[in-house]
Amino acid sequence: MFKRVSGTKDILPDNVKLWQKLEEISRSIFALYNFKEIRPPLIEEAALFNRSLGESTEIVQKQMFLINNKVETYALRPEGTASIVRAYIENNLDKTYGFAKFYYMGAMFRLERPQKGRLRQFHHIGAEAIGSTDAGLDIEIISLADNLLRNFLIEGYKIKINSLGCVNDKMKLVEILRKQLNTKLDKLCDDCKNRFENNPLRILDCKNDDCKEVVRGLDIRDEYLCLDCKAHFDKVKEGLSMLKIGYEVSSHLVRGLDYYTGTVFEITHQDLGAQDAIGAGGRYNNLIEELGGNKSGAIGFAFGVERLLLLTKLKIQDTDKNLVYIITLGDKARKTGLNLLENLRKNNICADADYEGKSIKGAMRKANDEGAHFVLIIGDDEIAKDVINLKDMVSGEQKEIKTSDIIKELKC
Ligand code: HAM
């Protein structure tokens, strides 16, 4: 028997309802903020991600699902930001929209070691606002993420923010880190020893206990920020405080993707355990130019839907779908039933029938399991009398209705 691929999940019909609820809430909140949906493809040229996320990042080094087709190498998208920036440039949206706000929902793929809350196919609900460096936009994006979480009925999360500054500031931060870590190299894991050479910022993210201990001992202040970047970050903090959005400044927050500059943030929840990030984001003011567009600021974030689902208190109430379930006995009745089923649906009445040849008792049980409001029973007697036997499963009442009156009866 075939099994699903490790790190993937079947989202079965009962669970789909909660997914749909989250998506429905997201759409309505995104609309409030005037974000528009965008749906880029699930595959892109692998080089797009190498270039955007950075050659030395964990995702590019170890986690991309690659498809080699002799001529080119494609990748299943590990995240949405790079694709959306590509789509923004390729479709000249900079010229048609200028400043534009997008949201997206869909599957992402990373070849990770699966564990609770960490999958190989997972889903993002995310937003990207492209074409502005205004600090007000940073505030809007973080407030949007906060508002979404409140509407998902998730409580007890922590918003951590930091600023990486512009490219020059990031280089200064790297130097500060190298200086402080230089004497502690022997305490770092092998991966971090390599990171020290290639990408020291990633050491701050390492989950290894020894590395975490070293990182705790680092003294990183915001002295690497230039005046403009410091002023920008101050405005962001002031705006969040004004809107009473709780946040914590974390000088160790750097994020694992190279495209970030300026404000970065991460939203965590302790109930998630080791993989405690519900969502994360930040500014990527150089990415548009790097991918061939005009220089323009941008910021976005993405939530991991599977992690949202572990935390949400939303409950699904089975909407009263007023299902009508048809049970027929004998060949003649089956033909009448087939016509009736078609007629009910044409009249916008939700209807289903027994296709398993069950006994009347079994079919009644199935109708009950399906949550049917009405059951229509048709046998030879009913056909002879030109009636249908209608049972109201809620009140228990049963009566015969003239066949030609049945739609009228069910519509009242
Ligand atoms: P990210 O932090 O890599 O950021 O992913 C965002 C969220 O996706 C994480 O906080 C987590 O909740 C979820 N996530 C990531 N990997 C997995 C996994 N293997 N299994 C389950 N959930 C996962 C980004 O992808 C950026 N593109 C976010 C962004 C948008 N930055 C700016 N714009």
Q: Residue range 100-108: average pLDDT? A: 98
How many angstroms separate the alpha carbon of residue 304 from the centre of ligand 1?
6
Question: What is the spatial distance between Cα 135 and Cα 143, in angstroms, rounded to a whole number?
Answer: 12
> Using a 6 Å cutoff on CB, does residue 78 contact ligand 1?
no
Question: What is the spatial distance between Cα 93 and Cα 99, in angstroms, rounded to a whole number?
Answer: 9
Residue with tokens 């190299």: 185
Q: Which fold has domain 13-166+226-311?
A: BirA Bifunctional Protein; domain 2 (3.30.930)
> Using a 6 Å cutoff on CB, does residue 279 contact ligand 1?
yes
Q: Whose CA is nearest to atom 14 of ligand 1?
A: 304
Q: Which two tokens stand for residue 100?
A: 């534009």
Where residue 359 falls (left for φ over 0; alpha for ψ -120 to 50; beta otherwise) is beta
- The percent of residues above 90 in pLDDT, for the chain, comes to 89
Confidence bin at 412 (pLDDT 50/70/90): confident
How many angstroms separate the alpha carbon of residue 300 from the centre of ligand 1?
11
- 3-state SS of 62-84? HHCEEEECCCCEEEECCCCHHHH
- CATH 3.30.930.10 positions along the chain are 13-166+226-311
Q: What is the tens place of the pLDDT at every residue in 127-164?
A: 999 999 999 999 999 999 999 999 999 999 999 999 99
Q: Are 165 and 225 within 8 A, CB to CB?
A: yes
Which has the closest alpha carbon to 23: 159, 156, 152? 152
Atom of ligand 1 minimally distant from the CA of 112: 19
Whether the pLDDT of residue 106 is over 80: the answer is yes
**179-193, 235-249, 315-329: which range is least confident on average?**
315-329
Q: What does the pLDDT read at residue 122?
A: 98
Q: Residue range 25-51: average pLDDT? A: 98
> Using a 6 Å cutoff on CB, does residue 79 contact ligand 1?
yes
Atom of ligand 1 minimally distant from the CA of 266: 10
How many angstroms separate the alpha carbon of residue 317 from the centre of ligand 1?
30
Whether the pLDDT of residue 319 is over 80: the answer is no
Dihedral sign computed on CA atoms, order 171, 61, 118, 130: positive
Where residue 276 falls (left for φ over 0; alpha for ψ -120 to 50; beta otherwise) is alpha
Q: What is the tens place of the pLDDT at every residue in 331-352?
A: 999 999 999 999 999 999 999 9
Q: Residue range 383-410: average pLDDT? A: 96
Confidence bin at 69 (pLDDT 50/70/90): confident
**67-76, 151-160, 280-289: which range is least confident on average?**
67-76
Radius of gyration of the chain (CA): 28
Confidence bin at 52 (pLDDT 50/70/90): very high
Q: Which fold has domain 324-411?
A: Rossmann fold (3.40.50)
β-strand pairing of 100-109 with 36-37: parallel
β-strand pairing of 324-328 with 374-378: parallel
> Using a 6 Å cutoff on CB, does residue 281 contact ligand 1?
yes
- The percent of residues above 70 in pLDDT, for the chain, comes to 99
Q: Are 199 and 56 within 8 A, CB to CB?
A: yes
Whether the pLDDT of residue 366 is over 80: the answer is yes
Q: Residue range 364-368: average pLDDT? A: 96
Question: What is the spatial distance between Cα 141 and Cα 160, in angstroms, rounded to a whole number?
Answer: 14
- CATH 3.40.50.800 positions along the chain are 324-411
Whether the pLDDT of residue 68 is over 80: the answer is yes
DSSP state for residue 205 in the 8-state scheme: G
Q: For all residues of the chain together, what is the average pLDDT?
A: 95
Looking at the whole model, is its pTM more than 0.85? Answer: yes
* Exposure on the CB side of residue 32, measured as CA atoms within 13 A: 14
Question: DSSP readout, 144-197?
Answer: HHHHHHHHTT--S-EEEEEE--SHHHHHHHHHHHHHHHGGGGGGS-HHHHHHHH
